[in-house]
Amino acid sequence: MKFFIQALAIIPITFGALLVDFNAARGDDPKVLGLRNLEAARGDTRSDNAADLYIKSDKDASGTAAAHFHRKKDNIRAEYHALNKQTQADKTYWIGYDVSVAKIQKSLMVWQFKEYVANNANDNGANIPLALEFIDSTHLQFQYQASGSVGRVGQWQKTIIPNQRYKIGIAINTGSPGWVELYIDGKQQRLGDGEGVTRLTANTFPGRADPKFGAYRGEEIDIDTFVYDVQIGESKEDVARAAGF
């Protein structure tokens, strides 16, 4: 019996599957996040980093290692597209995202779950089923878009302090309907009107939606976001480090 217990102790405990694992403090290259998307003016995509538009390993204002997403004023996008063409229907994805924003601008989106297949008039899929977007100079809002015929609707919001790190956890069950949960610094948030719910029923996967991290829109000012940690997995335990669980 003693031998059996000792044998169990050396068997590694596995949870789900860790699909993306970026940690700036460990020295990881941001490219492990997926496909780099740089866009100056609308439709003017760039393949290489430049002085006014880049994503690179760097340090924030306090000297902490981070992936630095930089956009000069008028540039529209500096993002990493994760799990490109890999997400599937009827699965649950857990996302941990440790991020800070140097300056806040209305309409700046620091994370989105972007639709790539059903985003057309015939399929009426939501353009961006889920997003984290600043609605003014202080408030970050978690938004849900049910279909292409309606806009994004705020489900939660929080006052954000520039240059302060926030650990964000998002659970997405991909389906029509599926569901979504939100965590901030390890604490589950309530979504929706009134008292809200901890799990929001939502059309999360009208065709094929993938997560994107960084900075999109809010092009009226220079934008700098710093990403310290990103994990995407198939269980809550998979993303504990980045989400602050």
Structural element, H or E, at residue 243: helix 240-243
pLDDT tens digits for range 180-217: 999 999 999 999 988 899 999 999 999 999 999 999 99
- Dmax (CA) for the chain in angstroms is 68
Contacts of 102 (CB under 8 A, 6+ apart): 60, 61, 162, 163, 223, 224, 225, 226
pLDDT tens digits for range 3-37: 444 444 444 444 578 999 999 999 999 999 999 99
Contacts of 143 (CB under 8 A, 6+ apart): 128, 130, 131, 132, 133, 152, 153, 154, 155
Q: For residue 15, what pLDDT is reported?
A: 55
Fold of 14-243: Jelly Rolls (2.60.120)
Contacts of 192 (CB under 8 A, 6+ apart): 155, 200
- 195 phi-psi bin (left φ>0, alpha ψ -120 to 50, beta other): alpha
Backbone angles phi, psi at 239, to 5 degrees: -115, 20
Contact assessment for residue 203 and residue 89, using Cβ atoms and an 8 Å cutoff: no
Closest CA to 224 of 23, 67, 26: 67
Q: For residue 132, what pLDDT is reported?
A: 98
Q: Which residues of the chain have pLDDT under 70?
A: 1-15
Q: For residue 12, what pLDDT is reported?
A: 46
* Mean pLDDT rounded to a whole number for the chain: 94
d(CA 209, CA 166): 24
Encoded tokens for 43:
């439709």
What are the extents of the domains in the chain? 14-243
- For the four alpha carbons of 234, 236, 238 and 241, in that order, the dihedral sign comes to positive
Q: For residue 121, what pLDDT is reported?
A: 87
